[in-house]
Structure 1
């Protein structure tokens, strides 16, 4: 699907009049989201042809107009470049600043330590620790991760 349709999909009900999708509303929403999230590409471009980082930003952006109370990110920066990672981190911080609950699942320890206020450590599918930000050091997390 084109980027503009892709990012508008969860909000189609809000972009219709009498059951008819208003293309101008779709374009406006897509333009606003692309600008806010710095999604690089043309609105009519197939979303699958965007870079990995821009695809990731588009996936996040399309849910924001729905005003979620909780967002779960599973490996949000896997396979994307450093610039896109920074943008994703900024988006996550903005969500938390807006009062949205955020859960980040990541195998990158530096990512977890940089974003988390609290770290839940699992080993072999079992919880081995729950650390507050000031307790969550690489050494402490790794010791809990291998303790199971």
Structure 2
């Protein structure tokens, strides 16, 4: 779809492609040597950002992300968080699946916790904490926690 936006009468323009690539590199702060370098020559975090940049060229209203920072260094993780937050702040709906509780706490306005394929808890705003995520995922209720504390 984004490729179609950059063609004229079905013909690609090298100049338009370079401009689109340069904009993506600047917007997402992708660290590259040259624009023509293969993605395989980039670090994991920068390769992830190239993938995100390709999606963003479509100007999506919804972005689905599955463990978007898995395997990237802390610096790249912070930049990807910035990109996701910026997208959300600009009206893009982000649907995020993450195995990292800290990532969910940092990025999400609303979390649906699933257990055995069913939604068991909805957390919103300040209710999204690592503790509430873990207790919801493990089906630990406040009643059980209170009983345990009183037995101590």
Q: Whose radius of gyration is greater, 1 or 2?
A: 2
User: What is residue 137 of structure 1 aligned with on the other side?
Assistant: 129
Rounded Cα–Cα distance in structure 2 between residues aligned with 1:47 and 1:11? 19
Rounded Cα–Cα distance in structure 1 between residues aligned with 2:132 and 2:108? 14
Query: CA-atom RMSD, angstroms?
Result: 1.3
Rounded Cα–Cα distance in structure 2 between residues aligned with 1:140 and 1:93? 22
2:84 to 92, 107, 131: 92
User: Secondary structure of the equivalent of 1:131?
Assistant: strand
Rounded Cα–Cα distance in structure 1 between residues aligned with 2:127 and 2:8? 52
Q: Is the Cα contact below 8 Å between 1:113 and 1:133 reproduced in 2?
A: no
Rounded Cα–Cα distance in structure 1 between residues aligned with 2:9 and 2:107? 43
User: Secondary structure of the equivalent of 1:78?
Assistant: coil
Give me the TM-score of the superposition, normalised by structure 2: 0.86
Residue correspondence of structure 1 range 96-111 to structure 2 within 5 A: 96-111=88-103
User: What is residue 22 of structure 2 aligned with on the other side?
Assistant: 31
Quote the offset at 1:49 in angstroms.
Answer: 2.0
User: Secondary structure of the equivalent of 1:134?
Assistant: helix
Q: Which has the higher contact order (CA 8 A, sep 6+)?
A: 1
Structure 2 residues not aligned, in runs of 5+: 141-152
Give me the TM-score of the superposition, normalised by structure 1: 0.88
Rounded Cα–Cα distance in structure 2 between residues aligned with 1:46 and 1:146? 43
Structure 1 residues not aligned, in runs of 5+: 1-9
User: What is residue 104 of structure 2 aligned with on the other side?
Assistant: 112
Rounded Cα–Cα distance in structure 1 between residues aligned with 2:106 and 2:5? 36
Q: Which runs of 4+ in 1 moved over 3 A?
A: none
Corresponding position: 1:44 with 2:67: no
Q: How many residues align?
A: 139
Rounded Cα–Cα distance in structure 1 between residues aligned with 2:78 and 2:51? 16
User: What is residue 128 of structure 1 aligned with on the other side?
Assistant: 120
